[in-house]
Chain A
């Protein structure tokens, strides 16, 4: 009974939804990045690395310029750079996309760790450098329940949600989107219609770099105001899973990210519930919740998802 009450308590607490949103935001950025890349047929397992570098670069430039927004901008440029490397290897040189992706993860981990000392004078983690202020939405803030969820949030959360709809619109309503989907499904067919497969793939991969780096920037200048080595903690991989769970569709990926964020928030709320009498020693097990929920959802409700047919296959023209 206390279980039911405390779970009900969680669902009626607006802050649960707010925590869900902020927990989901880094996944949303990165999963959208994954969608952009893979919908054109390039597997991007490097999301984790791109996020990490984005987190780092945004802090570095916030530190240097004092403006976290400049940090975000530079993070996007760093994401572009990483993505360009990935595109270059996998499109131009027909490289194995998974290998290139893992290489970039290592590279990002190495670079960010290595550059800590020269830039901040100490390894490991930075002090609090500063972060983007939350924004208050004047009227919304006063709406009872809703106001507590979205009345005051980090602007990057809104940007993430905006980007979900933008991505959907872009991929399904514009000519570029149509071409991207065609290239990911049947590059040869697109080629016979005079579409430059390589250009489209470059575009998709570069976009994925920009988007994923925002996920990293959200973690550092958005949420914490500091950088810590390896602070992305595997979120890029979870985003990858969310993208698949969402069937390579921005909206689907968004739901998958929200599901994951909600499960994570649920984990935290259950651990923090004042009425549930759970011994401290079993609480660590609650951390498995998001992962178990995902497995149940993917195998129980979603089942077979369908990757773009040419996903991961280099397009070789002789």
Chain B
């Protein structure tokens, strides 16, 4: 650690003794960070360890209570993002900072617009952005509005935003959390290119294999403090995980052999349209049995979301049938499906999964709020609800354990646990998990994976939709792959490979792959 102190000039970024206190927590406690010029530097740590907080201070979004920052050896005072931009710092935020009704190019130039007088010189802007995007291979549709742009492209737009401002130091806060493996690979290509052109990159991720693949050095944080400075070439995921969590972590879950039973859910020739009225699911059929995990792999935007919404009563199926224990439930509404034992851990936990302005105890009864024992003759039994939710918070290790806290004030991982607690405790028959571990730290992932397997062992039929191939492979008993609304093939995890599934995700049918035609 002391290594850099004499020679701050070698470092693109030096943060020293950074302390930031929030009302309830010391988010950064005398944190030191040293990032060499031209390297890719990882910051890892559990949810809430203080990574984002640290970077927000580097970018001037919040100001430290104590500590100093040096950029390229010069002490700087970064009060706001403008200062950071002036110092050549660019940040891609954990939650994208894009204006959804503006176009890509408008988002990129916003705040540093080329102009003629007061007028926006949009021609020049487009030209500049095009050049920039070609130089780094960051291909985007510059005229498209963000709301019509897939996440992978949004990510590239975010990076272009920083490059457009001439950033030499790029902060990427969990950039891969929402990306598919392919997109992640593309991102890494770009990062390598940026590194070659001399840029410095700070990379935050919960995925240790990514950290191993792309970075040069690693800073590990835990509870607001730095617990380790590692050279990537001299460490391994197990060691990093231990620095992060303070104990040994299972990086791969133990899975009992499968014992699937009767068929629970059957989907026949299902057709679903997306928000724009285009066919998103095109005649899909499959089934799931009790005690089985069916993994659905696929690049985001290939109809998985629409499929799940149709299965859970949130979207109308245009055609086809869905059977639950041999009862037809096509286009039944969410309440009826829930009553029949279907539960759903939604993809977007804050939009669908929780009423953020409700306290925990209200959130854990969502969907069953009108039923005994929570509600008797239309009146909520508050005492019962609170006791019940306390127990649930205890059982599912939601932190803090107080169910009176608003859901909005829980961290992402704990929000996910609240949803999990609610859905798992309602004795499901079918359980649909959509991206259940997105953005969560390894400890939380471990916990959720264990619970999914526990459900399976309780003979629940499970559908798992995930973009993480690793997650799909380690949990699923069967895998189907979706591409442009169709199923490319069905495989057993032990009989296939990442390559094969990857090819299907890219649009090749299984028969074709196996028969050697690509």
Contacts and interface: CB of A to CB of B under 8 A. Distances in A.
Interface stretch (B97-105, B176-184, B435-443): B97-105
B99 A189 contact: yes
B120 A189 contact: no
Contact of B110 (A174, A188, A190): A190
B98 A186 contact: yes
12 contacts: A173-B119, A174-B120, A175-B115, A176-B118, A178-B102, A179-B111, A182-B102, A186-B97, A193-B110, A194-B80, A195-B111, A309-B101
A185 interface: yes
Contacts of B102: 178, 181-182, 185
Contacts of B100: 185-186, 309
Given A175-B113, A178-B113, A194-B81, A185 B101 contact: yes
Contacts of B225: none
Contacts of A178: 102, 106, 110, 113, 120
Contacts of A318: 62
B59 interface: yes
A206 B113 CA distance: 23
Nearest to B161: A193
A191 interface: yes
B112 interface: yes
A312 to B, nearest CB: 15
Nearest to B122: A173
Given A185-B100, A192-B81, 5 more contacts: A174-B115, A178-B106, A181-B101, A190-B99, A193-B161
Contact of B120 (A173, A191, A192): A173
B434 interface: no
B1 to A, nearest CB: 30
A192 B100 CA distance: 15
A193 B111 contact: yes
Contacts of A308: 101
Nearest to A174: B118
B357 interface: no
Which of the listed residues B62, B93, B102, B111 has the most CB atoms from chain A within 10 Å of its own CB?
B111
Interface of A: 173-179, 181-182, 185-186, 188-195, 306, 308-309, 318
A128 to B, nearest CB: 41
B99 A181 contact: yes
A254 to B, nearest CB: 20
Q: How large is the interface on B (under 10, 10 to 19, 20 to 34, 35 or more residues)?
A: 20 to 34
The secondary-structure label for the interface of chain B is: loop
B110 to A, nearest CB: 5
A181 B111 CA distance: 12
Contact of A175 (B97, B98, B107, B118): B118
A182 B59 CA distance: 20
Contacts of A173: 119-120
A118 B149 CA distance: 61
Contacts of B82: 194
Contacts of A181: 99, 101-102
Given A178-B113, A179-B111, A191 B119 contact: no
Which of the listed residues A181, A182, A318 has the most CB atoms from chain B within 10 Å of its own CB?
A182
Contacts of A190: 99, 110-111
A193 to B, nearest CB: 4
Contacts of A309: 100-101
A189 B81 CA distance: 11
B91 interface: yes
A173 B119 CA distance: 6
Given A175-B115, A193-B81, A194-B80, A188 B97 contact: yes
Nearest to B92: A192
A175 B97 CA distance: 19
B310 interface: no
Contacts of B80: 194
Contact of A179 (B85, B93, B110): B110
B61 interface: yes
Contacts of A182: 99, 102, 106, 110
Nearest to A170: B118
A173 B116 CA distance: 11
Interface in B118-173: 118-120, 161
Given A176-B118, A193-B111, A186 B81 contact: no
A189 B85 contact: no
Which of the listed residues A190, A194, A309 has the most CB atoms from chain B within 10 Å of its own CB?
A194
Which of the listed residues B99, B101, B102, B161 has the most CB atoms from chain A within 10 Å of its own CB?
B99
A185 B96 CA distance: 13
Contact of A189 (B98, B112, B119): B98
Nearest to A188: B97
Contacts of B113: 175, 178
B171 to A, nearest CB: 11
A258 B98 CA distance: 35
Contacts of B99: 181-182, 185-186, 189-190
A67 B120 CA distance: 38
Contacts of B119: 173-175
Given A174-B119, A176-B118, A182-B110, A192 B93 contact: yes
Which of the listed residues B61, B62, B110 has the most CB atoms from chain A within 10 Å of its own CB?
B110
A174 B102 CA distance: 14
Contacts of A189: 97-99, 107, 110
A315 to B, nearest CB: 13
Contacts of B118: 174-176
A192 B97 contact: yes
A190 B119 CA distance: 19
Interface string B68-102: 00000000000011100100000101000111111
Contacts of A306: 101
A318 B80 CA distance: 12
B224 to A, nearest CB: 18
Contacts of B101: 181, 185, 306, 308-309
Contacts of B112: 193
A216 B98 CA distance: 38
A272 B111 CA distance: 55
Contacts of A177: 120
A192 B98 contact: no
B292 to A, nearest CB: 41
A249 to B, nearest CB: 11
The 6 A-B residue pairs with the shortest CB-CB distance, nearest first, are A194-B82, A193-B111, A189-B97, A175-B113, A182-B99, A186-B99
B324 to A, nearest CB: 32
A34 B113 CA distance: 26
A309 B91 CA distance: 23
A185 B97 CA distance: 11
Contacts of B120: 173-175, 177-178
A173 B118 CA distance: 9
A50 to B, nearest CB: 25
Contacts of A179: 110-111
A190 B106 CA distance: 12
A309 B147 CA distance: 12
A177 B100 CA distance: 16
Given A179-B110, A181-B102, A318-B62, A194 B85 contact: yes
